[in-house]
Amino acid sequence: MTKLFNSQETMVDDMIDGFVSAFPQVERGKIDPRVVVRSRARKNPDEKVTVLIGNGSGHEPIAMGFVGEGLLDANVVGDVFAAPSADLILDGIREVNGAAGTLLLISQHSGDVINGRAAIMLAEDDELNVRGLLMYDDVASAPPERRQDRRGAPGTMFIYKILGAAAEAGLDLNGLMALGEAVRDRTVSLSAAISPGISPLTGKPMFKLPEGEIFIGMGVHGEPGAGRMAYGPVNKLVQTIVDKLLQDRPIARGGRAAVIINGMGGTTLMELYTIWNETRRVLAAHGIEAIAPMVGSFVTTQEMGGFSISLLEPTDQMLAYWCEPSDSPAFPSISLLAQEALT
């Protein structure tokens, strides 16, 4: 399949050039051009904890699209589907670190974990005040008794946003770590894939799926999922996914759930709004109110067809931070449904 790029060598830098020139609130780093940083409304990093993440490219808009006031201070951009190296992440930490400290978010995938933790070790050698928060939420990748072995999935966006807003509001590093762990422990995600993405490096589909079947629990790079099911009406599929999520982490009747419906790149908004609507109905049938939805394609794998559903049972504080506006280029304004839940 044909993709639009100049060359494989320049494709990531060409993308970053385009991104920073389109959005004045972000720019390339001064220490390292592979880091995207906030260009305005930055508070003194000696007073505000800075928050950043590194990730492979090819999953846009995450995470450089979430750099901005009230969200991330920086994103370290790796090569296509490859975790950035430890020293590149260290450069990202140096771009934003101050006396108040820096929180490195790490989505649990082996390359990201090894390089993220190595970057923290190197930063500590330089006596920088840095901590790392491992993020994991994919119920398909390990059973509940081994939650800490799960992969990072789109539910980690709850952590990005809530911690970004909390850091802007002045929470200190220990407070942010505790809040991040609490959000993580209240978040579950599960995905479904109906067609593969095409790797820009090979031009080939990233997995094969038999005609008429859907993968449940697919990873963001096409790693095998928990199982398959026959293709059918979307309400059945959503029912299956939401039931599995609530089985894994129950929410009591009368409770509420913040919801992320994430498209993987090849799924239309027409489909995603339908999926949100079915999610809302299934939750209501369980006696749970669906609030503050974020619906769109945020963590993508090129043109992979499919979606994930993430649920967070929020505290009032988490919900307030979730709804705070931010000026990042790609994070949506969260629905007023949340504002109603707050008042």
Using CB under 8 A as the criterion, which residues of the chain lie in contact with other proteins when the complex forms?
Answer: 78-79, 82-88, 110-111, 113-115, 117-118, 121
- Rounded to the nearest 5 degrees, what angle is found at the Cα of 46, between the Cα atoms of 44 and 50? 75
Nearer to other proteins by Cβ, of 124 and 185: the residue is 124
Q: How far is the CB of 88 from other proteins (least distance, A)?
A: 6
* Beta bridge partner(s), residue 214: 229
Q: How far is the CB of 96 from other proteins (least distance, A)?
A: 19
Q: How far is the CB of 23 from other proteins (least distance, A)?
A: 26
Q: What whole-number distance in Å separates Cα of residue 147 and Cα of residue 118?
A: 23
- The DSSP H or E segment spanning 225 is none
- The 3-state DSSP class for residue 310 equals strand
Q: What phi and psi values does residue 120 have, to the nearest 5 degrees?
A: -65, -40
Nearer to other proteins by Cβ, of 80 and 272: the residue is 80
Q: What whole-number distance in Å separates Cα of residue 78 and Cα of residue 89?
A: 9
Q: How far is the CB of 181 from other proteins (least distance, A)?
A: 20
Q: What whole-number distance in Å separates Cα of residue 322 and Cα of residue 165?
A: 7
Nearer to other proteins by Cβ, of 114 and 269: the residue is 114
Whose CA is closest to 296, among 326, 327, 332? 332
Active site residue 221: yes
**Residue 28 corresponds to which tokens in the numbers above?**
């390339």
Nearer to other proteins by Cβ, of 63 and 86: the residue is 86
Indicate which residue of 221, 228, 244, 286 is catalytic: 221
Indicate which residue of 59, 184, 249, 280 is catalytic: 59
Active site residue 59: yes
Q: Active-site residue numbers?
A: 59, 221
